[in-house]
Amino acid sequence: MSMQKRILGNNGLEVSALGLGCMGMSFAYGPAADKKEMIALLHSAIEMGITFFDTAEVYGPFTNETLLGEALAPFRSKVVIATKFGFKANADGSGRWSELDSRPEHIRAVAEASLKRLKTDVIDLFYQHRVDPNIPIEEVAGTVQDLIKEGKVKYFGLSEAGVQTIRKAHAIQPVTALQSEYSLWWREPEKEIIPTLEELGIGFVPFSPLGRGFLTGKIDENTTFDANDFRNTVPRFTPEARKANQAMVELLENIAKHKNATPAQIALAWLLAQKPWIIPIPGTTKQHRLEENIGAVNIELTTADLNEIDVAASAIEVHGSRYSENLQKLVGR
């Protein structure tokens, strides 16, 4: 089973067709996983052909970058590491990181700190984690451009940005990738984002391509999440919404039966089939899930399959918004 490659953006950044989202190893979905086990999992991903690893300073905070720095150091020349700037610790001492900060001096400081944690001399892809309304995006793009000229960063990315922001940033420093949520149960990017990326030659990196685990078919209305699990705060994950949203899982299960695949593999194969420049980054802490996800790369969905999925999915109303109100405010700007 050989991993296919794809290109992000117009400047030739080649990565595996599927990346690995590493956030959940340290953060957001309950307690952090065992470090030795995660290093083994990361090494296993490399052996299976994954070359694209996604992290951010805010995951932990800091612990996820440190984990990747240690695990990926022996393979540094073979892998592409993406990390992010743009948050800072809240001033209230709560330990939360919901305040935005994309001032040029802050971006520079984050780059230096991330380089150390990642044990590297260059960040392959540096994303603005969320758009900061207080700092013109042209200034942000210009700062990353300076870091690229200095050899500290190779490529510039945005996350959850709106179309106008993407255009303004791209005019200053070519944007290599946009990372935003996209999956069969969150198709908002199809309206404006995907056509804009196509026009400008920007790659698309969908996070939560399995609907934060829901599209695997392993979560139902009776599932309980760890007290620290971020999904407890998500309207789409209330028991009522989970019950209503099973229709989407049933659709995937039907297609999966015909393809001798799993619902998760169909959900990923569907994303891969949308555009040749889409690179989903499903996250996992489990070896068998990693193997299952990678198997999606070899699933062929025909035009008829894709039409069938489209027709069936468009008849399903997904219940619950994808973020709580305060997080929703940070996206699409």
59 is catalytic: yes
Kindly name the residue from 59, 155, 182, 323 that is annotated as catalytic: 59
SS3 54: strand
C-alpha–C-alpha distance, residues 38 and 26, integer Å: 9
Per the structure block, which two tokens stand in for 47? 């052996």
C-alpha–C-alpha distance, residues 244 and 318, integer Å: 8
C-alpha–C-alpha distance, residues 308 and 247, integer Å: 15
Separation of CA 129 from chain center: 11
Residue type, 235: P
Residue type, 172: I
Q: Which residues contact 69 (CB under 8 A, 6 or more apart)?
A: 117, 118, 119, 120
SS3 38: helix
Per the structure block, which two tokens stand in for 152? 């500290």
SS3 98: coil
Q: Which amino acids are annotated catalytic? A: 59
